[in-house]
């Protein structure tokens, strides 16, 4: 089969379209004949090599995707064959203490499709039966192929970890990636007042179209912390969602309200930050890490995609053969929404 990934960790020049043996599902697994795979920033981290995670090489990238189940392993109901499927990228053992409490994202053996295991950017992907989610009717292959990771992550970060409620002021840092296009819509759906901070006026306009109430464009002359503070009428934000990390984190934190929560994940510009604690404890503010989501949270956000309350935003679709160009576009960061790979028509 054709598979997009790498045989050696490194930078973008290590990306390859590879020819690998067709895989077959083991017990409890299904094979998905992929239609669309969705790229995430995580794929860049996986390509570089994440300390502590040893993936067998060659490695197939991408955790999101849509396709049709075409083969099932032992113990899986054969009626699943033919099911239009959306890939849930969260892998958990289902048996540990955390899984038994319904907190699968804290599983002691937590893994992500395409990060720890071969991913969806291939003619076929093997996933546990439980990760083959019926594709909601409203979503086509492209819409379904890019929603999993970003919508589940934004949902948990804002709703569960950030405790975002109707009427809260929320600031979302950045306006282009798939994660923030999901976060803007989720914050809006929650009934919060949504401010988006970006360096790009054009992306800011598109954020308004997605439901942001207000956009602040920051720059060297108009720093992020000052822009946010003024936008909040000098009260600060109840919740700030920052997936950018190093470039913005300390500045975001200065715009928290009393009791405010800075929710973070990703750290796409770097993960080592320096921050002034005095401003935080004085206001009783907190920093809260978040990643991925539980199965229950994923079902909740999926139901809102299924009924049309939330919409996947697609930046561009590349053929599988142009995976390297897709990753390059992605790495440059000048995107709005999801970058996808079309595997079959």
Q: Between residues 17 and 96, which has the closer beta carbon with respect to Zn ion?
A: 96
Cβ-contact 182, 152 below 8 angstroms: no
Asked if omega into 58 is within 30° of 0 (cis), the reply is: yes
* Shortest Å distance, C-beta 30 to Zn ion: 20
Cβ-contact 53, 117 below 8 angstroms: no
Q: Does 130 bind Zn ion (CB under 5 A)?
A: no
Instruction: Name the one range near Zn ion by CB under 5 A: 100-108, 274-282, 296-304, 315-323.
Output: 100-108
Q: Does 106 bind Zn ion (CB under 5 A)?
A: no
Q: Between residues 108 and 222, which has the closer beta carbon with respect to Zn ion?
A: 108
Asked if omega into 90 is within 30° of 0 (cis), the reply is: no
- What radius of gyration, in Å, describes the C-alpha atoms of the chain? 20
Cα separation, 243 vs 90, whole angstroms = 19
- Terminal-to-terminal C-alpha distance of the chain: 16
Q: Does 92 bind Zn ion (CB under 5 A)?
A: yes
Q: Between residues 206 and 295, which has the closer beta carbon with respect to Zn ion?
A: 295
Q: Between residues 96 and 280, which has the closer beta carbon with respect to Zn ion?
A: 96
Q: Does 99 bind Zn ion (CB under 5 A)?
A: yes
* Shortest Å distance, C-beta 40 to Zn ion: 22
Cβ-contact 218, 199 below 8 angstroms: yes
Instruction: Name the one range near Zn ion by CB under 5 A: 23-31, 90-98, 133-141, 322-330.
Output: 90-98
Other CB atoms within 10 Å distance of the CB of residue 178: 30
Instruction: Name the one range near Zn ion by CB under 5 A: 41-49, 95-103, 162-170, 199-207.
Output: 95-103
Instruction: Name the one range near Zn ion by CB under 5 A: 18-26, 96-104, 163-171, 191-199.
Output: 96-104
Q: Residues in contact with Zn ion, total (CB under 5 A)? A: 5
Largest interatomic CA distance in the chain: 62
Cβ-contact 90, 112 below 8 angstroms: yes
Instruction: Name the one range near Zn ion by CB under 5 A: 43-51, 60-68, 86-94, 329-337.
Output: 86-94
Q: φ, ψ for residue 100 (rounded to 5)? A: -65, -25
Stretch 284-343 residues interacting with Zn ion (CB under 5 A): none
Q: Between residues 262 and 292, which has the closer beta carbon with respect to Zn ion?
A: 292
Beta bridge partners of 197: 173, 216
Cβ-contact 63, 40 below 8 angstroms: yes
Q: Does 96 bind Zn ion (CB under 5 A)?
A: yes
Q: Between residues 156 and 193, which has the closer beta carbon with respect to Zn ion?
A: 156
Q: Which residues bind Zn ion (CB under 5 A)?
A: 92-93, 96, 99, 107
């Amino acid at each position: 089969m054709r598979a997009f990934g790498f045989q050696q960790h490194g930078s973008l020049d290590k990306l390859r379209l590879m020819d690998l043996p067709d895989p077959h599902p083991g017990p409890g697994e299904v094979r998905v004949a992929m239609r669309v795979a969705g790229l995430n920033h995580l794929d860049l981290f996986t390509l570089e090599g994440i300390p502590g995670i040893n993936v067998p090489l060659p490695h197939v990238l991408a955790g999101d995707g849509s396709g049709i189940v075409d083969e099932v392993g032992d113990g899986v109901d054969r009626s699943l064959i033919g099911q239009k499927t959306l890939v849930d990228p969260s892998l958990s053992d289902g048996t540990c203490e955390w899984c038994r409490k319904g907190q699968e994202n804290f599983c002691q053996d937590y893994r992500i499709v395409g990060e720890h295991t071969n991913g969806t950017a291939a003619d076929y992907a093997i996933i546990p039966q439980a990760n083959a989610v019926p594709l909601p009717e409203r979503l086509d292959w492209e819409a379904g192929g890019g929603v999993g990771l970003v919508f589940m992550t934004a949902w948990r970060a804002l709703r569960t970890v950030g405790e975002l409620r109707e009427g809260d002021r929320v600031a979302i840092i950045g306006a282009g990636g798939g994660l923030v296009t999901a976060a803007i819509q989720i914050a809006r759906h929650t009934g919060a007042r949504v401010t988006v901070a970006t360096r790009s006026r054009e992306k800011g306009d598109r954020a308004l179209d997605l439901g942001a109430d207000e956009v602040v464009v920051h720059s060297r002359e108009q720093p992020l912390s000052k822009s946010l503070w003024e936008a909040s009428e000098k009260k600060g934000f109840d919740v700030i969602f920052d997936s950018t990390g190093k470039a913005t984190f300390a500045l975001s934190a200065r715009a928290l309200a009393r009791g405010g929560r800075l929710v973070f994940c990703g750290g796409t510009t770097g993960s080592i930050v320096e921050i002034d604690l005095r401003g935080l404890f004085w206001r009783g503010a907190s920093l809260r890490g978040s990643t991925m989501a539980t199965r229950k949270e994923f079902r909740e956000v999926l139901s809102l995609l299924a009924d049309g309350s939330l919409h996947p935003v697609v930046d561009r679709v590349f053929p599988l053969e142009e995976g390297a160009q897709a990753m390059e576009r992605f790495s440059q960061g000048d995107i709005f929404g999801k970058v996808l790979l079309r595997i079959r028509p």
